[in-house]
């Protein structure tokens, strides 16, 4: 149930850098080196987002955009180009959701990936996703990568609120009010206890921490940062 991203590019220098960053973010990742095999992969794999080179053997990234939009496929598409801005208007008019030119900051590209995935899942709210964490609001299933996690109803409600406000510091009072109710009169440490329950379950396979404590304030759902930015020219 992890997020699946398809990269269609024959750039031998760029592909491994993008792959490293996206796998570090917890995404499932597939690479195709020409437009024809890329279009087939889109139809067969149904990825959550596609990154396309503008110029590709056999079928251009622009033509792939046009074909996908002509069949009403609304998958998010990021188009990469080697020429600064020259094809931006035609790329967006052909159905690309974003247009990125060299020099490419891989960290910026990954940030754009996260942005478009958030927008997609906001407009399709049957699922909430943050990095490799996915909550299905219809089945109430929770996945960390491909691992199914069993949560109690209250744990699920708390995680829904956290994942609905990614990278936002949420006060203890705000979490108590929105998850337990404004008139809650239970144990004062109930939030701390449930945060601990969630951490144990979300990190059972030694995954990176997602729920962080902000001393004296509350909690935030965000990445664990350990890497320096990379720039591809």
Task: Concatenate the DSSP letters of all residues of 189-202 into one string.
Answer: THHHHHHHHHHHHH
Cβ proximity of 130 and 145 under 8 Å: no
Domain with CATH 3.40.50.2300 in the chain: 4-124
Cα 125 → chain centroid: 14
Give the pTM: 0.55
Helix (H, G, I), strand (E, B) or coil at 58: coil
Q: How far apart are the first and last CA of the chain?
A: 34
Q: What is the CA radius of gyration of the chain?
A: 20
Cβ proximity of 4 and 47 under 8 Å: yes
User: Of 63, 53, 54, 59, whose CA–CA distance to 14 is shortest?
Assistant: 53
Tens of pLDDT along the chain (233 residues)?
Answer: 467 899 999 888 889 999 998 888 778 889 999 999 999 998 888 888 999 988 888 888 888 888 888 876 778 989 888 766 567 777 787 778 888 887 788 888 888 898 888 777 666 557 888 888 999 887 889 999 889 999 998 999 999 999 988 999 999 998 998 888 756 666 678 999 999 999 999 999 999 999 999 999 999 999 886 554 444 44
What pLDDT score was predicted for residue 233? Answer: 44
Domain with CATH 1.10.10.10 in the chain: 127-221
What pLDDT score was predicted for residue 178? Answer: 83
CATH number, domain 127-221: 1.10.10.10
CATH for 4-124, among 3.40.50.2300, 3.40.50.10790, 3.40.1260.10, 3.20.20.140? Answer: 3.40.50.2300
């Amino acid at each position: 149930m992890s997020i699946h991203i398809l990269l269609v590019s024959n750039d031998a220098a760029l592909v491994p850098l993008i792959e490293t960053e996206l796998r570090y973010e917890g995404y499932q990742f597939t690479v195709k080196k020409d437009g024809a095999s890329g279009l087939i992969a889109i139809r067969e794999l149904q990825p959550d987002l596609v990154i396309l080179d503008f110029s590709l053997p056999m079928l251009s990234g622009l033509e792939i955009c046009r074909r996908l939009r002509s069949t009403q496929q609304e998958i998010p598409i990021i188009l990469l180009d080697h020429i600064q801005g020259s094809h931006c208007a035609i790329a967006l008019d052909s159905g690309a959701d974003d247009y990125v030119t060299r020099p490419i900051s891989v960290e910026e590209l990954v940030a754009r990936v996260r942005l478009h995935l958030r927008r997609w899942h906001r407009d399709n709210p049957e699922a909430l996703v943050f990095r490799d964490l996915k909550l299905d609001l219809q089945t109430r299933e929770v996945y960390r990568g491909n691992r199914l996690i069993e949560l109690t109803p209250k744990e699920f409600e708390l995680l829904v609120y956290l994942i609905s406000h990614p990278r936002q510091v949420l006060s203890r009072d705000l979490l108590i009010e929105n998850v337990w109710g404004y008139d809650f009169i239970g144990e004062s440490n109930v939030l701390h206890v449930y945060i601990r329950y969630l951490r144990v379950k979300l990190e059972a396979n030694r995954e990176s921490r997602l729920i962080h404590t902000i001393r004296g304030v509350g909690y935030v759902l965000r990445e664990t940062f350990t890497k320096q930015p990379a720039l591809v020219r």
